Amino acid sequence: MRRIIATYWDLFRAVSRKRSFRYFLLPPVYALAGVYAALRLWRAFGAWLPFGPYAFVCILLFSLGPAALLSMALPGYSPLKRGIVMAGSLWTASLLYGFAAACLLELVRLLDKALGNPLSLRLEAMTGLSAVTLSALLVFSFLLFFFAKGIYNAFVPRIHRYSVQVPNLAQTMKLVLLSDAHLLNPTSPVRLDKLCSRVGGIRPDAVLLAGDIVDNRPELAKQQKVAEKLSAIESRHGIFYAPGNHEYIHAAKGSREKTGSVSAPSFQDRLASLLTYFQGAGIHVLSDEKTTLGGLCTLVGRRDSDVEKHTGIPRKPLSYVLDGADLSLPVVVLDHQTEYFREAREAGVDLLLSGHTHQGQVFPLTVFSRRRYAHNYGAYREDAFTHIVSSGCGSWGPPVRFGSRAEIVLISLYS
């Protein structure tokens, strides 16, 4: 109990330091939604449950969502703190969908009442249960389906295959693209082991990591042996890694905690610590750099565009990075965010590989994601240029996907 109280006190202090309105406004919004859900459930099942235990369970559950939102601002790591975030994330997702379903059923109830309750009377006669109780059971059934489907979609990635024709390729190549794993949460070790096992079974020519592989600090990556497990995947030409915005975000967060602001030297130190760890495990880190894959194609890894936001230092133009490259070979570029496909196309890139969007991850964000990103998910082709955007092999926030699916992207290159 003392550890739980200390954790909540840390949450309050962290939010006070951030002085961010969203951390103060979102918890009350979710709390109000929780109160509404609690009252509706009590109306449905109150005759069957003692009020005291019911109220205790409601307070415990509905406190998880605000605690998880507040924890986004919390520095440091402990299994308890990560557990609060995980449980709160799951509960927040269920509350969002449960609240939406309850509102829909409330509209049906009001319409039925305006018509003289024909639907309610018919259902009560058929089942012996009140319309309110039936509504609650429908919401619970929906949430059970949501969790079962959502957790499966997030934890069991499918293999999504693409065939891409490129010029001057001496032999066919098999590339695996992984992005947006967002490792370093309580379920990461199991998920990572299964992911590495499945990719190893493909026996690709190269494994390409398109950013947001880890979602926290270098010491946690070392603790969970992330780089060692990834580097153990068998591939002919190796593992190549272009960091995404979350690697930069956490470097910036560490710099801010250390110096009080995001200073370029401190930011670079934090980022270098993470990247040096991956390089030490045998993973090739490409940050506005290029290499060749067995003399068959040119591979470029881009610095994520968020680096300028955190440090004021712009990343290099792609034409500058490609200067001196053998452009008679096919050119493949890893760029975590999707917005720079025009630059890649104009630079003569044959294949651009991205992630970042998660395909929205959960409905209705899947709809907003399609409107937000010109290249949201899938393969986009224009003449000799192809851009493949992955939905990611993991999840961020709630470990569920609804309306999207985690995936391992397998690309067959041929001429």
So what CATH class is 158-414? alpha beta
Least confident interval from 34-38, 47-51, 340-344, 362-366: 47-51
| Burial class of residue 45 in the structure, from the number of CB atoms within 10 Å of its CB (0-12 exposed, 13-18 middle, 19+ buried) | middle
> Which pair of tokens denotes residue 9?
């006190």
Q: How far is CA 402 from the centre of its chain?
A: 12
Contact present, 201 and 244 (Cβ < 8 Å): no
Backbone angles phi, psi at 363, to 5 degrees: -70, 135
Higher pLDDT, 15 or 175: 175
* pLDDT reported for residue 164: 94
199-227 pLDDT per residue, tens: 999 999 999 999 888 875 667 777 778 88
4-18 pLDDT per residue, tens: 455 445 555 554 444
| C-alpha span between 16 and 12 (Å, rounded) | 6
* pLDDT reported for residue 377: 93
Q: How confident is the model at residue 190 (pLDDT cuts 50, 70, 90)?
A: confident
Considering only CA atoms, which of 195, 285, 203, 279 is closest in space to residue 243? 285
The 3 state secondary structure assigned to 197-236 is HHHHHHCCCEEEECCCCECCCHHHHHHCCHHHHHHCCCCC
Measured CA angle at 174 (ends 173, 175), to 5 deg: 115
Domain ranges of the chain: 2-152, 158-414
